Amino acid sequence: MRRASSLLAALIGFLLAVRGLAAWHGRDADALFDGELEAQRERARAMDAWTGADLDRGDFSTGAARFDGEWLFVTRLMAVLGYAQTALEHPELRAEHAARIDESLDAMLAPEARAFDREAWGRDALSDLGGVRDHVGYLGYLSLALAVARAVSPTSRHVEMEERVMRHLVQRASASELGLLETYPGEVYPTDNTTFFGALGVHDAVTGEDHGALRRRLSRRLETRYRDPRTGLLYQRVDPDDGAPLDGPRGSGTALAAYFLSFSDGALSLALHRSLRAGMLTRTLGFGTAREYPAPSGGWGDVDSGPVILGQGVSATGFVIGLARAHGDRETFRAHLATASFFGGPVDGRHALGGPLGDALLFALTTALPPSRWEAR
């Protein structure tokens, strides 16, 4: 009896310690969720060092040059989104963050930043503007960065580029029977396309232009053709000829797509968030995680998902943070931020194990704005 009591006491102590650990790692969650200025400043400061650094593909270690280039590029994008979101939430940050945005955009437009896309297509994306190649793996993400930059600074020196990129993507999307554009030749990913869908909404709000019919068509195709009817999640990859799924529904792609859609189609973004909550999210002793593959299926981790541990995906778990803030889901925000902080290894406001991409993602996702804030621009 005494031994059983000791084991029970030890178990209770362990569970309390885990819950206390989750509470410590989520200690800033409420301040970030509520958009407190100093909490957002701290995230911005963590990003500042990376923004000013001379990063290149060698600073990433995926094992493939193309993916290293993608990670470098997405780091710059997420920095722009974080700086833009915080500038719009706190106007006193606008001037400082507008300068950081311009610096990040310059890096995104540099020839070396376009190398991963150029190597895949055999053509430069900016030289192909107005042509017949989509390049949505570069131009889609760039379009979102340029659009939110214009929302912060309507007279930004990057406005002309924003208009050129948007014209190209509108032209290509309008001509697409699938309603989706190619990331690379013969490769179509719904998530990559949502960057352009989100950018188009911001563009219309900022400029007063009306691409409403195209936006509704694109969202309708995404919802009815590329969303798995059983789980409500998006297919990760589809056939470029007929749109048939080539990779099943995934947590990481759906969560990231839903965040990008919050810039343009709040209703679809919320619907995807609810699908994730219904079948993919788990909360244990204050820590939140997200499955990468819907039950009962499983799979290995890859460059999109990050490590998959007992079915729980690192990328999906982190991406949910942005959805939770955008859609007012405080409890999910707390739990997933605690997990991201625990595995990221926080040191002086930065995350030692996440590197520049980890800090950039957390900056953007923890400062995500409600869809109504973009509609009101």
Q: Tell me, what CATH number does 108's domain have?
A: 1.50.10.20
Residue type, 377: R
Nearest Cα residue to 263 out of 323, 320, 175: 323
In this structure, how many other beta carbons lie within 10 angstroms of the beta carbon of residue 239?
13
| pLDDT grade for 74, boundaries at 50, 70 and 90 | very high
Average pLDDT of the segment spanning 262-290 = 95
Task: Classify residue 176: in a domain, yes or no.
Answer: yes
Task: Classify residue 10: in a domain, yes or no.
Answer: no
| pLDDT grade for 266, boundaries at 50, 70 and 90 | very high
Which burial class, exposed, middle or buried, applies to 12 when counting CB atoms under 10 A from its CB (0-12, 13-18, 19+)? Answer: exposed
Task: Classify residue 341: in a domain, yes or no.
Answer: yes
Average pLDDT of the segment spanning 17-24 = 46
Average pLDDT of the segment spanning 157-165 = 97
Which DSSP letter does residue 291 get? B
Task: Classify residue 11: in a domain, yes or no.
Answer: no
Q: Residue 118 has what pLDDT?
A: 97
| Total tally of structural domains belonging to the chain | 1
Task: Classify residue 13: in a domain, yes or no.
Answer: no
| pLDDT grade for 125, boundaries at 50, 70 and 90 | very high
**For residue 296, is the peptide bond before it cis, meaning its omega torsion is within 30 degrees of 0?**
yes
Reduced to 3 states, what is the DSSP secondary structure of residue 238?
strand
Q: Which domain holds residue 171?
A: 29-375
Q: What is the dihedral of CA 341, 33, 285, 299, to 10 degrees?
A: -60
* 375 Cβ contact partners less than 8 Å away, ≥ 6 residues apart: 201, 205, 266
CB contact at 8 A, 83 and 153: no
Task: Classify residue 140: in a domain, yes or no.
Answer: yes
Task: Classify residue 325: in a domain, yes or no.
Answer: yes
* 23 Cβ contact partners less than 8 Å away, ≥ 6 residues apart: 286, 338
Q: Residue 344 has what pLDDT?
A: 57
Q: Residue 149 has what pLDDT?
A: 98
Q: Within the chain, what is the greatest distance between any pair of CA atoms? A: 79
CB-based contacts of 117-124 (< 8 A; 24+ apart in sequence): 117/69, 117/184, 119/65, 119/66, 119/69, 120/66, 120/184, 120/185, 121/184, 121/185
CB contact at 8 A, 114 and 76: no
**Position 230 pLDDT exceeds 70:** yes
Run of H or E including 283:
strand 281-284
**Position 317 pLDDT exceeds 90:** yes
| pLDDT grade for 204, boundaries at 50, 70 and 90 | very high
**Position 347 pLDDT exceeds 50:** no
Q: What is the dihedral of CA 164, 169, 170, 171, to 10 degrees?
A: 90
Task: Classify residue 51: in a domain, yes or no.
Answer: yes
